[in-house]
Amino acid sequence: MSEGSYNAVTWLLDRNVEEGRGNKLVFNDTVSRLTYGELQRETRRAANMLRRLGVRREERVAMIMLDTVDFPIVFLGAIRAGIVPVPLNTLLTADQYAYILADCRARVLFVSEALYPVIKDVVGRMPDLEHVVVSGAKQNGHKQLAEEIAGESEQFTNAATHPDEPAFWLYSSGSTGMPKGVRHLHSNLQATADTYAKQVLGIRENDVCLSAAKLFFAYGLGNALTFPMSVGATVVLNSERPTPARMFDLMNRYNPSIFYGVPTLFAAMLNDETMKSERGGKSLRICTSAGEALPESVGNSWKSRFGVDILDGVGSTELLHIFLSNAPGDIKYGSSGKPVPGYAVRLVNEAGQDVADGEVGELLVDAPSAGEGYWNQRHKSRRTFEGPWTRTGDKYIRDAEGRYTFCGRADDMFKVSGIWVSPFEVESALITHPAVLEAAVVPEADPEGLLKPKAFVVLRPGATTTDLQEMLKEHVKQKIGPWKYPRWIDVVDSLPKTATGKIQRFKLREGAN
């Protein structure tokens, strides 16, 4: 690389080998393992393969890949070459993949064997797509990753990229509309590691990391790639569904010191009857949670069961990782904590003016890890990335100690009798009732056309349903005040959620009205 240039892979991977960690284990996906030295060689081969396939700097390659060792090989191999990997959610439909592949104009698609059936009818109609490379067994005459890489040289000079040059894109699902490609820069990965990972999480070389969130999410990418690699630590990759049983099993087998979860999973793990007798989790020193606010009751129960805290935080795909967080020794369950060192935040009203402590405002963040905009979406980019400030669309309230508490999405809040109601507050009250496992609240018009809260609840197994409606209404009235109680309560089997675990209230609103 030339002077003044900065390639994220030089910092993230090559530095570890130079500092003597070549023989240290970096990734274990329970089937294959890679040391830092092996990963360096494999990513150099992958970079040479991409050049041979004719992909040039700044062009995109898409990834629909499970969390196995092949993911970092492709992702970091592309970045090495100045080529832009676009990891995609592995749970999308064929139509959604067709939209994104056309939008990003990927020249090559890397796909895990198990996911190939979903895209097999799509790949033939993508005009920019020249190669499909399968991780696993060959499919339909397409190329196979292991075979393509095997003959390549282990020598490669990293592309002399600029710190402000796009390194990878992540598609942001958003609460409505088609996904938007967020362009992230070479310097953004280090920005998240130097701030949240080092100064909040206190990540260190002897950590073993396990993330329930997959690598294609911004949350998972930081948890299980950027952060551990930034200090030469080790990662256990989980290519399967992150069920409570799977997570306990991995904890028992690999003794992670950091477990990164999401609220629904923490709650499900605490409720997992079959695992009540297991001692999984004894190696943990800290856990993190993101995706949606962690209910206070879940944080407290986790702490008493496993003896470790969950650091609840908030991040976004646009800002790459967590920018508000609780910190070790400074935890208040029910709150999202304080700004991560290196990030500045503001709460503003509809006129764009800063609001005082105790007032609800939209959260804006000045972040060293912000994406540079949405691909081909100038209007949406301008509305979200306003100079140094990124609009999150989340409503928060700040207390006198400087802690921030989530009040709902800007577009989820509604007024009842002229008073703002946060669906989140009503949901939090509902789930403190012993019969309720999960809840979502949306506005519904009453016969007079006035908005009132309506709740959808998932009950705990075996919960008593006698007088359920009246019992829950009374419970909410007692907890948070008489006007906020849900006037209607539907019992459902599950709630609609995004892949990151956020409740999609807009889907319930559409069904409700």
CA distance 229 to 75: 14
| 185 sits near ligand 3SK (criterion: CB under 6 A) | no
Nearest approach in angstroms of CB 223 to ligand 3SK is 8
Tokens describing residue 201? 């999480």
**Which residues fall within 8 angstroms of residue 59, CB to CB, at 6 or more apart?**
83, 84, 105, 107
Which is nearer to ligand 3SK, 219 or 333 (by Cβ)? 219
CA distance 84 to 446: 50
The closest alpha carbon to 116, from 81, 66, 166, 156, belongs to 66
| CB contact at 8 A, 438 and 495 | yes
Nearest approach in angstroms of CB 69 to ligand 3SK is 22
The residue from 189, 314, 416, 472 that contacts ligand 3SK (CB under 6 A) is 314
Which is nearer to ligand 3SK, 81 or 367 (by Cβ)? 367
| CB contact at 8 A, 220 and 172 | no
Give how many residues touch ligand 3SK by CB under 6 A: 11
| 225 sits near ligand 3SK (criterion: CB under 6 A) | no
Helices (H), 53-93: 70-80
Point out which span in 160-168, 309-317, 475-483, 505-513 binds ligand 3SK (CB under 6 A). Answer: 309-317
CA distance 87 to 109: 10
| 219 sits near ligand 3SK (criterion: CB under 6 A) | yes
CA distance 153 to 158: 13
The residue from 295, 315, 368, 373 that contacts ligand 3SK (CB under 6 A) is 315
Point out which span in 88-96, 316-324, 360-368, 463-471 binds ligand 3SK (CB under 6 A). Answer: 316-324
| 218 sits near ligand 3SK (criterion: CB under 6 A) | yes
Nearest approach in angstroms of CB 103 to ligand 3SK is 20
| 322 sits near ligand 3SK (criterion: CB under 6 A) | yes
Closest CB to ligand 3SK: residue number? 315
| 409 sits near ligand 3SK (criterion: CB under 6 A) | no
| 405 sits near ligand 3SK (criterion: CB under 6 A) | no
| CB contact at 8 A, 399 and 332 | no
CA distance 82 to 507: 39
- Strands across the sheet containing 208-211: 33-35, 25-28, 234-236, 208-211, 258-261, 286-289, 310-315, 322-325, 338-339
| 321 sits near ligand 3SK (criterion: CB under 6 A) | yes
| 131 sits near ligand 3SK (criterion: CB under 6 A) | no
Which is nearer to ligand 3SK, 233 or 290 (by Cβ)? 290
Mark residue 241 as left, alpha or beta (left: phi above 0; alpha: psi -120 to 50; beta: remaining). beta
The residue from 166, 500, 503, 509 that contacts ligand 3SK (CB under 6 A) is 500
Point out which span in 313-321, 355-363, 364-372, 405-413 binds ligand 3SK (CB under 6 A). Answer: 313-321
Nearest approach in angstroms of CB 317 to ligand 3SK is 5
| 317 sits near ligand 3SK (criterion: CB under 6 A) | yes
- Complete DSSP assignment for 266-313: HHHHHH-GGGTT--TTTT-SEEEE-SSPPPHHHHHHHHHHHS--EEEE
Task: Tell me which residue has tokens 């997992």.
Answer: 272
| 192 sits near ligand 3SK (criterion: CB under 6 A) | no
**Which residues fall within 8 angstroms of residue 498, CB to CB, at 6 or more apart?**
173, 175, 504
- Complete DSSP assignment for 183-218: EEEHHHHHHHIIIIIIIII---TT-EEEESS-TTSH
Which is nearer to ligand 3SK, 82 or 291 (by Cβ)? 291
Point out which span in 54-62, 115-123, 314-322, 467-475 binds ligand 3SK (CB under 6 A). Answer: 314-322
Point out which span in 4-12, 38-46, 270-278, 317-325 binds ligand 3SK (CB under 6 A). Answer: 317-325
The residue from 87, 291, 299, 453 that contacts ligand 3SK (CB under 6 A) is 291
Nearest approach in angstroms of CB 292 to ligand 3SK is 7
Nearest approach in angstroms of CB 229 to ligand 3SK is 17
- Strands across the sheet containing 84-87: 84-87, 60-64, 108-112, 131-135, 143-144
Q: For binding to ligand 3SK (CB under 6 A), which residues are involved? A: 218-219, 290-291, 314-317, 321-322, 500
